[in-house]
Amino acid sequence: MFARLLLLSVILAGRSAATPADSSSGLTEAIALYDARSYSAARKRFEQIVVSRPDDPEVNYRLGRLALWFDDAARGRTCLEKAARAAPNDARIQDALGDAYGLIAQKAGKIAGFGLAMKCRAAYQRAAKLDPRNPEYHWSLLRYFLEAPWMVGGGMKKAYAEAAEIKKLDAEDGRIAFATLFLAEENYDRAFQEFDEVMGRTPDDFMALYQIGRCAAVSGQDLGRGRAALRRCLQLSPPKRPGAPTYGNVHYRLGNILEKEGDLAGAKAEYAASREADPDLRPEKDLLKN
């Protein structure tokens, strides 16, 4: 229904078990794999754990997120609705449930898709209401308003309002949010300008360098500057926080730029390096900010 509605957050996107899968340490291990973005291994561990903890909202939340990551939207919806029934006031679950409804809406018929889109928006709004100071839930609404048709509540004015909310909560995220909207409107100069001040103060800021590379990769403008910025990222350490771009993301964006420059062999090598750096990377699933 809306072709690019859900560029899902990097959900947050193995060892043999030495302890029972349903033990506390087993769950801790599974969550650690999930948080480390080892999604294939995490999914295997959570599938073992859910057998003995079928009603655990944390387990069903993680399984639901992983199902969405691996394109099993129906399973994701089932797990997340079950988690939501057990923990109706968990903002994370509501946000993920919005993702599930949105993914299914894309493949549904017009009437069913309309209803699912409205459920998607309602879940995102509930997440933001439950935890209004978490920028990620405002990102979900921004994505929705950016991509959804007007008849299901989409619109750039609403998307910019969410970007403003994000900026109030986190200045760095706010710059990325506004740059994302400028890119969507092909206002490329303003997208790059969001990071010029940062580069003037701290020229080795990983996030600003990465975003310059992303702007170049998406827009096709200033490709040389974007390529240099991403190459510098590979000499720095990525931020250690959920949702931050990894070396896998950097190599992927370098591949985008080299492809636009006509260097197909170089692009192929960068895409291979992206998969090697992050085997579970699904670039189409990343947040718009990545």
Spell out the domain ranges in the chain. 1-169, 181-290
Please tell us whether the domain made up of 1-169 is placed in CATH 3.20.20.70: no
Model pLDDT for residues 44-57, shown as the tens digit of each residue: 999 999 999 999 99
Residue type, 87: A
Which CATH superfamily includes the segment(s) 181-290?
A: Tetratricopeptide repeat domain (1.25.40.10)
pLDDT (average), residues 165-191 = 97
Token readout for 7 is 């560029």
Intrachain domains 1-169 and 181-290 with the same fold: yes
pLDDT band at 3 (very low <50, low <70, confident <90, very high): very low
Tokens 């400028």 appear where?
Answer: 182
pLDDT band at 289 (very low <50, low <70, confident <90, very high): low
Is the pLDDT at 224 greater than 70? The verdict is: yes
Model pLDDT for residues 52-111, shown as the tens digit of each residue: 999 999 999 999 999 999 999 999 999 999 999 999 999 999 999 999 999 999 888 888
pLDDT band at 286 (very low <50, low <70, confident <90, very high): low
pLDDT band at 218 (very low <50, low <70, confident <90, very high): very high
Instruction: Give the burial class of 136: count Cβ atoms within 10 A of its Cβ; 0-12 exposed, 13-18 middle, 19 or more buried.
Output: buried
Model pLDDT for residues 241-272, shown as the tens digit of each residue: 878 899 999 999 999 999 999 999 999 999 99
pLDDT of residue 285: 66
Rounded Cα distance between 167 and 161, Å, is: 10
Cβ–Cβ under 8 Å, residues 124 and 95: yes
